[in-house]
A and B are shown apart, each in its own frame.
Chain A
Amino acid sequence: MKGLRLLRWSGSVLSLRTRPCCFIHKYQYQYPAQPLGLLRLQSSAAAPLRTVSEPEDDKEPRDSTDYTLLPSPPPSRPPSSARLSALHARLVLPTRLPLEILARCLVDPSADTNSNFNNASLSLLGSDLLGYYTSEAIICRYPRLPTEVMKAAMAAYCGPKTLAAITREWGVEVAAAPGREVDPGFLQCIRQEAGNASVNGTGTQVKELQTAADGVSTRPDAESPTRGWRRGASSKTLYGDRFGDEIQRTETDYAERPELRKEEAQRKAKRGVTLEQASTGFVGALMGAMYIHAGKKAARNFFKAHVLSRHLDVSKLFEFRQPTRDLSKLCAREGFESPVARIESETGRKSRTPVFVVGVFAGKDKLGEGSGSSLDEARFRAAVGALKGWYLYSPLEVRVPSEATGGRPWEPVLVDGGEVVV
């Protein structure tokens, strides 16, 4: 991967942004004037929600020095925030990444719609980096992993749930409501209001989330009644995000199907995010900021220390339906003899609690082994073990492409023929 030339980047990402006076004046009109008593100073207490819309016109400002109505903390605040400096030190971020940028990473687009002050651009870059580093780590380590399992492993390392957990474990707290007077060390976002939906069977209340899957899909066969059945691995690769989930709509989709725009506008009018979405944006933004300010190597090390070091048992992610059939297909494809199940040991065949240990053999080579309380179960489990043995092959020395800058040239890693297709 060719390194980006940082110095050639436009100033919008690298330099600290200051709000020009005219910008403040615009906001004077869009927010209703508040009595001073309602203003919160240095606190994270809840404030009444305000709706933000882009100003219609440029009128003359009433008072050019009033910063109180900004949607997020101004860039002059971060150096004085103990919480922010503590977060900077806790994550051992390099000094090349200034506090102001860390503060910007903590501003979600739902809190501040101005893209010069929120983390949207940084999180776009950072989430791509996260996806790239995770996928290369998984693919190079387990080159034979099936696509579905690979995507599940990706989601386990850098999916929204995991990133929300990482944010929590970093000790980042969420502001009750964003605003200029809130400590910049808080994650600033407007939380989605809780709904009345409840999980089936339990009394747990959950938020009514509008997912892409609920709305009109971007997939070409969206109207097909058997849509749920068509979500195969290749469909997920083509139409899904990096975890195989359905993606949010893009401008291209709107150009093709203008009726989607109205629905999207209704969703945006609510303008709230869940904690998961805000955390995903924050971790991605910090990753992007590391890449831009501290360089590729530091970003990689940061990723290794905080994401890749987490524990995941990949062998627990598989679910087989017909492993015996898959295994015989696999043996036929790879040119082994067709697999045969053989009883290695057994106990209590005629008792209430028998145990059979069955091995799957291709000729004289043992492929896998499983035990169960019936011959069928043991055979099934042995086939599962053999398939896992195949899919979880890991080369001895793994060097991922992103590590191959300078020095020793990169040697290609094993590329497998792919999973068994029946």
Chain B
Amino acid sequence: MSISLPLRSLSNLPFLLPSLSSLVSYVSRRNESSARRTTKRLRTKPDASFTSSISPSQVNDHIVFNPPSSAPSPYHTPPVFLPVNDPRRTLLAQSHQHANSYDQPDRHLPPLVHKHKPYEKKYHLRQTEIDEIRRLRSEDPYKWTRAKLAEKFECSQFFVGMVAEAPSEKKAAEQRKLEETQEKWGRRRRYAREDRGKRRELWGKDL
């Protein structure tokens, strides 16, 4: 990542420059930092986004638009979620600043989180195939797992689980296997897993 230089010139920030007082002898030096002096020094010119490019004569009849640098509030309904007859829909559409910037032809959407294409449902399985899935599953649930069946019939694992649930003894065996593994865990791993689960709960509570 590149290191960004300060946007403001050094002349605007005199307190960054070596102070003249350092040249004065140590004895006569006064304490530089008082609340008044610090405030005075920090009273710098506002950021360029706050100042307007319009001439000072027109200053009174325009609005400075400076969107907040903060995460959006849940109380701000996205424009698509507004009902059709809501007046905000037309107002936002008219507003140049609030218009969707991704609508412009030269603006690309950000990259996807998941690079693979979203899964498309094919709805290609008929009753005979579903019966076949069930038969295989009941024949040997240890050989015909969800993943194997999903691969064979080109459907999702979720669908296999939906149409042909594993028999309860297989579920119990899997559970036992999991518990045996978990018993071997030490304190640190167990706590780490627990904490991860707790943190995940907080995601849903938006905390």
Contacting residues, chain B, for A414 (C-beta < 8 A): 83
Interface contact B206-A318, CB-CB below 8 Å: yes
A371 touches B204 (CB 8 A): no
A385-402: CB near B (< 8 Å → 1, else 0) gives 110111011111000000
CB–CB A338/B118 < 8 A: yes
Minimum C-beta distance from A230 to chain B (A): 20
Is B5 part of the binding interface, using a Cβ–Cβ cutoff of 8 Å?
no
State whether B205 touches A319 (Cβ < 8 A).
Answer: yes
Chain A window 358-399, contacts with chain B (Cβ cutoff 8 Å), 1 for yes, 0 for no: 110110111111011001011111001110111011111000
CB distance from A376 to the nearest CB of B (A): 9
Determine if B186 is an interface residue (Cβ-Cβ < 8 Å): no
Whether the pair B72, A369 counts as a contact (CB closer than 8 A) is yes
Contact of A380 with B203 in the complex, beta carbons under 8 Å: yes
**Complex: how many Å from CA A388 to CA B75?**
8
- Whether A372 and B203, one on each chain, are in contact in the complex, defined by CB atoms closer than 8 angstroms, is yes
Partner of B109, one of A316, A342, A395: A342
**Is B110 part of the binding interface, using a Cβ–Cβ cutoff of 8 Å?**
yes
- Complex alpha-carbon distance, A399 and B27, angstroms: 72
Q: How far is the CB of A394 from chain B (nearest CB, A)?
A: 7
Contact check, A362 vs B204: say whether CB atoms are below 8 A apart.
no
Interface pair A365/B100, CB less than 8 Å apart: yes
Nearest CB in chain A to that of B107: its residue: A364
A273 within 8 A of B: no
Residue A315, interface by CB 8 Å = yes
Given contacts A347-B1, A358-B113, A369-B71, contact A377 B203 (CB under 8 A): yes
Interface string of B167-184 (1 = CB under 8 A from A): 000000000000000000
Say yes or no: A393 contacts B82, CB within 8 Å: yes
Q: A377-B203, A381-B206, A396-B87 are in contact. Are A341 and B112 (CB under 8 A)?
A: yes
Which one, A336, A359, A364, A395, contacts B86 given CB within 8 A? A395
Q: Is the CB of A389 within 8 A of B76?
A: yes
The tally of residues in A whose CB lies under 8 Å from a CB in B reads 45
A392 pairs with B75, CB closer than 8 A = yes
Report if B103 contacts A (CB, 8 A). Answer: yes
B78 and A367 contact, CB distance less than 8 A: yes
In the docked arrangement, what's the CA distance between A369 and B79, Å?
A: 14
Q: B80 interface residue, CB < 8 Å from A?
A: yes
Chain B: which residue is nearest A384 at the CB level? B206
**Residues in chain B near residue A375, CB distance under 8 A:** 113
Would you call A336 and B80 a contact (CB within 8 A)? yes
Q: Does B77 contact A (CB under 8 A)?
A: yes
Cα distance A378–B204 in the bound complex, in angstroms? 11
- Chain B residues with CB under 8 Å of A128's CB are none
Q: Per DSSP, are chain A's interface residues mostly helix, strand or loop, or mixed?
A: mixed
CA distance A393 to B84 in the complex (A): 13
In the complex, the number of residue pairs spanning A and B with C-beta atoms less than 8 Å apart equals 91
When C-beta atoms are compared, the residue in chain A nearest to B73 turns out to be A315
Is there an interface contact between B113 and A343, defined as CB atoms closer than 8 Å?
yes
Q: A364 to B102, Cβ gap below 8 A?
A: yes
Q: Contact: A320 with B113, CB < 8 Å?
A: no
Q: Which of A316, A358, A392 contacts B77 (CB 8 A)?
A: A392
Contact B100 A320 (CB under 8 A): no
Question: Is A365 a contact partner of B78 (Cβ separation < 8 A)?
Answer: yes
Q: What CA separation (Å) do A321 and B79 show in the bound complex?
A: 25
- Contact flag A315-B206 (CB < 8 Å), given A341-B113, A341-B114, A393-B82: yes
**Which B residues from 91 to 133 make CB contacts under 8 A with A?**
100, 102-103, 109-114, 118
Contact yes or no, A384 B204, CB < 8 A: yes
Q: Is B68 an interface residue (CB 8 A)?
A: no
A396 to B89, CA, bound (A): 12
Q: Which residues of B contact A93 (CB under 8 A)?
A: none
Closest to B75 in A: A392
Q: Does B81 contact A (CB under 8 A)?
A: yes
Cβ distance B149 to chain A, nearest Cβ, rounded Å: 22
How close is A147's CB to chain B, nearest CB, in angstroms?
18
Q: A318 → chain B, closest Cβ, in Å? A: 7
Residue from B71, B109, B206 within 8 A of A361 (CB atoms): B109
* Docked-complex contact A392 and B74, CB < 8 angstroms: yes
B88 within 8 A of A: yes
Inter-chain CA distance A378–B75, complex, in Å, is 19
Q: Closest CB-CB distance, A282 to chain B, in whole Å?
A: 34
Contact A371 B75 (CB under 8 A): no
Cα separation A340 to B112 with both chains bound (whole Å): 7
Closest to B204 in A: A320
A395 to B89, CA, bound (A): 12
Give the residues in chain A near B110, CB-CB below 8 Å: 342-344, 359
Taken together as a complex, chains A and B put the C-alpha atoms of A340 and B114 apart, in Å, by 9
> Shortest Cβ distance from A289 into chain B, in angstroms?
36
Q: How far is the CA of A343 from the CA of B109 in the complex (A)?
A: 9
Which B residues are in CB contact (< 8 Å) with A73? none
Complex-state Cα separation, A414 to B84, whole angstroms: 11
**CB-defined contacts of B82 to chain A, threshold 8 Å:** 393
User: Is A318's CB under 8 angstroms from B205's CB?
Assistant: yes
Cβ of A371: which chain B residues have Cβ within 8 Å of it? 71
Partner of B75, one of A315, A338, A343, A361: A315
User: Contact between A379 and B109 (Cβ–Cβ < 8 Å)?
Assistant: no
Known pairs A319-B204, A342-B113, A389-B78; list 11 more (Cβ under 8 Å): A316-B206, A319-B205, A320-B204, A347-B1, A361-B109, A364-B109, A366-B78, A368-B72, A375-B113, A381-B203, A389-B77
7 A-B pairs closest in CB distance: A388-B74, A341-B113, A342-B110, A320-B204, A365-B80, A364-B102, A315-B74
Between A and B, 27 residue pairs with Cβ closer than 8 Å are: A315-B206, A319-B204, A338-B118, A340-B118, A342-B110, A342-B112, A343-B112, A343-B113, A344-B110, A361-B109, A366-B78, A366-B102, A367-B78, A367-B80, A367-B81, A368-B72, A369-B71, A379-B113, A380-B204, A381-B203, A384-B203, A389-B76, A389-B77, A389-B78, A393-B81, A394-B75, A414-B83
